[in-house]
Chain A
Amino acid sequence: MNKIHSNQLFCILLLSGAWSVICIPALSGTGQILGIAAACLMQILFCLPMLALAKQQGSFEKMIRSHKILGICYIAFFLLWGAQGFVQLWDVAPAQLLPTSGKLIAAILITLTCIYTSSCGLRATARAAPFVMGLFFLSIAVLILGAWKRIDLSRIALERTGFWDGVQIYNALSGELVIAFILLDKIKIKRSLAINSYLLSKAAFCILILFLSITVSGRLTELTDYPFFMLTTLSQPLQGQRADALYILVFVMLYIMHITLQTGVVGHLMEILFPAISRYASPASLFIMLLLAWMTNLPTTQGITSIALPVLAFLVPLLLRTKQFAKSIRKQHSETEFRNYDQEHFL
């Protein structure tokens, strides 16, 4: 895979993360907002080992070449997470945003687009991300513009309940950190800027959605399973023109980015682990995701990510970095010993 730019990494991570944020199912007040802010700070610390490791380019590639089983674990995570994405799409989109197009037709069309985009590879996805990002920012601007007049600050009250809920939910939505760990290997400069900007922007977007849901939707939030879609129903900035088409467009694009990113990373991992069968790995992974999604008893997103995130995005980089550090100390030590030996015997 060719190199990708740090700006592109920021865009693809944020867009994929934004899709998870708009599918937040529960809302419990300002405690949750504080929990999200705390989880964001926690994740910045979580990222330190992977950023330290990324200074030596190619270290992740070397690691999974020598520990193939670990590479397979990463692939399994992306397949499960992607499958969960399909389940979420089936649950969320048809009822909320695509009521007139027909549930099955909409899902089939989106899946077909995903098959095409996954066949284009990760680099094409990275290049497309800044364009989608522009549209995403436009939809946020429209959302704020429409919601602005309806904000009622008396609905917001500082409360502690929901803090741990916020931490858990936000961590469960941050599977992109695993992707970040893999893709950091391919970025030359501004790695920490890309990761920190992604973490802060995603937390800001998440807090914005929760804040608007509390102050704009108020009690109406109880009527829906997904607060974001209630917000889009209420946020119509123009009297004579509805903004639904924009929200549908952005929703579909975010979902396609979310799935394509995962299939692209699976393709990239397959290229490293099994180069002989890597040619059609991305589209094939999409079919496996569909198959897994079709199976019942799939673990929830929260279940998958809360276990995988600390292990795959924090523990593995930490162990690898510790190993590198120990190796360099051993090397330094042996060099010093060799120099002392030289000095003792030859001088």
Chain B
Amino acid sequence: MKTKLFFSIPFSIVLFLFTGCSTESIADRVYTQAIGLTCNKELSLYTQGFDEDSREPVTGASIAEVLRCEESVNGGRVFVGHTELLCLDGTCTLNPTEELLFQQGLSPACKILYTEPDAYFENADSTATVHMIRMSEQNGLLSSTELSTALQEWQGVWETALIPMQKETQDYPALVLLHKDGACLELSDAAAKGMYWLRRNTGNFTMTLDTADGEQDISIASCKLKKTIQNQKLYYEIKIKTKDSHEELRNILKEMILKQCHAAISEMHMANADVIGMQDLLEHENIELNKDFKPELEISVIVN
């Protein structure tokens, strides 16, 4: 019995290492790092592999068809499971992305970028783009967005998702509110930063504040968001822990965050959108929701 166990454990481990390797070699597959979709007359698919130039776009009637075309052009089965970036221009929103996620196994953590795929894939550097989005999110410049959050927002009553957009005039991406019909509204810089505080975020970064004595840095240790609802009114409480003990700096930070949050809410209402999880809270109180409903919202910021 002991001998059997002695041999069976390493044998089982070796078996796990071989799963799936017998049927296809790695060269038979076409891996994608970035995917672009446009739906003008037909669906067009743009792809880029890891450390490769962009491939020629293919067109077809559906996602399955364009992937088949891509396979015949590139001579291998297309695997989209490791895709890091999905580029959309507003002509393709909910349905094709849903199909990519559920039928083709696109990663739910894949980043989305609002751009013209045609222009982007001409000279694309997807590694740099993805790194730029990730670092902007970590440094508190950009609210965290990914495929699964965008799909949840398009599925909501207001059918609008928050998506990053590359902007030539600034070093980090801007944000747009993209309706599933294609209508979009670019958020101002203040509103985009306000979105960071009103959505799930990580905290732990340093930011620069404008004070009477010039620019000063303040380190954010953590940031917690608490959402509640009482009598149909929404309360968002943002609790921030800083590593600095200077009272004046904290007050400036508090004022700045409040200002940014108000800008974010005002522009979100302008676009008739919900990208800060209002619907989940409103549903707790069994409120009948429609697209024109604009809930009352109060924001409080506590800086320690």
Contacts and interface: CB of A to CB of B under 8 A. Distances in A.
B81 A242 contact: yes
Given A219-B155, A224-B102, 16 more contacts: A99-B103, A99-B105, A155-B277, A218-B152, A218-B280, A220-B148, A220-B152, A222-B155, A223-B98, A233-B108, A234-B148, A236-B107, A236-B108, A242-B82, A244-B105, A249-B19
A99 B99 CA distance: 13
B109 interface: yes
A137 to B, nearest CB: 15
Of B98, B102, B283, B284, most buried by chain A (CB within 10 Å of CB) is B102
Contacts of A234: 108, 148
Contacts of B299: none
Contacts of A236: 107-109
B109 A239 contact: yes
B281 interface: yes
A154 B281 contact: yes
Nearest to B147: A234
A233 B200 contact: no
B76 interface: no
Contact of A154 (B152, B156, B277): B277
A139 to B, nearest CB: 13
A240 interface: yes
Nearest to A233: B108
A276 interface: no
B198 to A, nearest CB: 12
A245 interface: yes
Interface in A124-166: 131, 150, 152, 154-155, 157
Interface of A: 99, 131, 150, 152, 154-155, 157, 218-220, 222-224, 233-234, 236, 239-240, 242, 244-245, 249
Given A223-B155, A239-B109, A244 B81 contact: yes
B81 A219 contact: no
B109 A220 contact: no
Given A152-B200, A223-B98, A249-B19, A242 B148 contact: no
Interface in B10-29: 12, 19-20
Nearest to A218: B152
Contacts of B102: 223-224, 233
Contacts of B281: 154
A242 B283 CA distance: 33
Nearest to B82: A240
A141 to B, nearest CB: 16
Interface in B275-299: 277, 280-281, 283-284
B81 to A, nearest CB: 5
Contacts of A244: 81, 105
Interface of B: 12, 19-20, 81-82, 98, 101-103, 105, 107-109, 148, 151-152, 155-156, 200, 227, 277, 280-281, 283-284
Nearest to A244: B105
B83 to A, nearest CB: 11
A245 B108 contact: no
A238 to B, nearest CB: 10
A154 B235 CA distance: 12
Contact of B280 (A155, A223, A224, A249): A155
Given A233-B101, A236-B109, A154 B280 contact: yes
B20 A245 contact: yes
Contact of A242 (B107, B200, B284): B107
Contact of A220 (B12, B19, B151): B151
A239 B146 CA distance: 13
Contacts of B277: 152, 154-155
A340 to B, nearest CB: 58
Contacts of B280: 152, 154-155, 218
Nearest to B155: A219
Contacts of A245: 19-20
A54 B53 CA distance: 70
A308 B151 CA distance: 42
Contacts of A224: 102
A152 B36 CA distance: 29
A273 B287 CA distance: 60
Contacts of B148: 150, 220, 234
Most-contacted residue by chain B among A220, A223, A236 (CB, 10 A): A220
B77 to A, nearest CB: 8
Contacts of B156: 219
12 contacts: A131-B12, A150-B148, A154-B277, A154-B280, A218-B152, A219-B152, A220-B155, A222-B155, A223-B155, A233-B101, A239-B109, A242-B81
Nearest to B227: A154
Contacts of B98: 223
A240 B281 CA distance: 34
A196 B302 CA distance: 47
A224 B98 CA distance: 11
A218 B156 CA distance: 10
Contact of B284 (A99, A157, A233): A157
A120 B240 CA distance: 61
Nearest to A242: B81
A218 B148 CA distance: 10
Nearest to B106: A233
A328 B146 CA distance: 69
A147 to B, nearest CB: 11
A170 B148 CA distance: 29
A99 B103 CA distance: 7
Nearest to A234: B108
B96 to A, nearest CB: 14
Nearest to A157: B284
A233 to B, nearest CB: 6
A208 B200 CA distance: 22
Nearest to A230: B102
